[in-house]
Chains A and B, each alone.
Chain A
Amino acid sequence: MLKTLHAKENFQLGIGLLVGILFGFLLQKGGVTKYDVIIGQLLLTDFTVVKIMLSAMLTGMVGVHLLQSLGWAELHPKPGSFGSVVIGGLIFGVGFGTLGYCPGTLAGAVGQGSLDALFGGLIGLLLGAGLFAEFYPRLSKLILNRGHFGEKTWPQLLKVNPWWLIFPVALWLLNVFLWMEKSGL
């Protein structure tokens, strides 16, 4: 039943839009569509971004693995290599600190009327993505595949059942939340 649902193109576009609306609503309610909140996180004065990301991770980690264990969902871990995720991640980070939004929260920021997100950030993001497409053939030969480790997950790497990691990671995250609240972050 799910396979036919997944193959219905227009239905899927509708789901994408609906999920996006809910996602954008949540991001705005969380305050992370604001430059001040994101820069506050990167300056380590406001921990809203980390709290949202880690609690999303905790909920999603348990939920998605539960669905997977029931045979109702498949995982789609992204492939990676040190050349792509470390270097690309650091470049992204420089952009993160300079722009003060990320691609998703920027769309929400435009929605709430932030003109710097629209006239600066959005144009920049499109320009950057276009430049990458231009340089892709060369980068792909030179760097992107250096230190390739594929679509591995931690449980696969450690050769254990995912739940052996989910419980400790969940416990650790809960402790991080407690610690953040106790220390007033």
Chain B
Amino acid sequence: MEWLKMEQWSPYAVGIGIGLLSCLTFFFSNKPIGCSTALSRTSGMLESLVRGGKVAEKAYYKEFAPSIDWEWMLVLGIFIGGFISAKLSGQFQVVWVPMKWTATFGNTPFLRWFTALIGGTIMGFGARWAGGCTSGHGISGTLQLAVSSWIAAICFFIGGIVTAMLIY
């Protein structure tokens, strides 16, 4: 079982694994893999804690009820799976600021965290605007040959490449 402890697998092996996993979810759950509706649901659940039952009345939460569902469990699973994999390879490590960021902008956590907060906000907004993320559109949608997802995935990368080039 040494391969479970390896730091990195070939990207092709990982991709094939994810592709097979997609087949499994279509078969066993009649669902494609996706992550970003879980954000809306969690956000709705948190808002409900503060503002109560009114939140569920919002038009958006009538479509995506603020409760735990299949996709929410999937995202929780990603967190657990990431942890297990990193632990097994000895890569688990509390990191305040990523290396590449430190090399260019220094290791002040505040600057990186604040940038991540802004980036996260834009991404959360954009993911729901586009109706999916890098998993839901980028992998699950493109493999179904969905027109909407091919266009979305191309736009994700155009926006991402331009922004990253501007930042670095």
Contacts and interface: CB of A to CB of B under 8 A. Distances in A.
B19 A107 contact: no
Contacts of B81: 20-28, 108, 111
Interface string B129-158: 111111111111111111111111111111
A55 interface: yes
A124 B119 contact: yes
B163 A42 contact: yes
A1 to B, nearest CB: 11
A169 to B, nearest CB: 8
Interface residues of B, number: 128
B40 A85 contact: no
A26 to B, nearest CB: 5
Interface in A109-165: 109-117, 119-134, 136-137, 139-140, 144, 149, 151-155, 157, 162, 165
A129 B70 CA distance: 18
A129 B60 CA distance: 10
A59 B153 CA distance: 17
Contact of B77 (A20, A64, A97): A20
Interface residues of A, number: 124
B94 to A, nearest CB: 4
B1 interface: no
Interface in B12-37: 12, 14-33, 35-36
A84 B78 CA distance: 27
A152 B1 CA distance: 43
Interface in A77-95: 77-82, 84-95
Given A22-B21, A24-B85, A128-B125, 20 more contacts: A19-B33, A33-B86, A34-B98, A35-B101, A55-B11, A56-B14, A56-B139, A84-B131, A85-B130, A85-B148, A94-B162, A103-B38, A103-B123, A112-B91, A124-B117, A130-B46, A132-B60, A134-B58, A139-B129, A149-B148
15 contacts: A19-B24, A20-B78, A35-B101, A42-B164, A58-B143, A89-B126, A92-B129, A92-B130, A93-B126, A104-B78, A123-B117, A123-B120, A124-B121, A128-B128, A169-B145
Interface of A: 2, 5-6, 12-31, 33-36, 39-40, 42-44, 48, 51-61, 63-64, 67, 72-82, 84-100, 102-117, 119-134, 136-137, 139-140, 144, 149, 151-155, 157, 162, 165-166, 169, 177
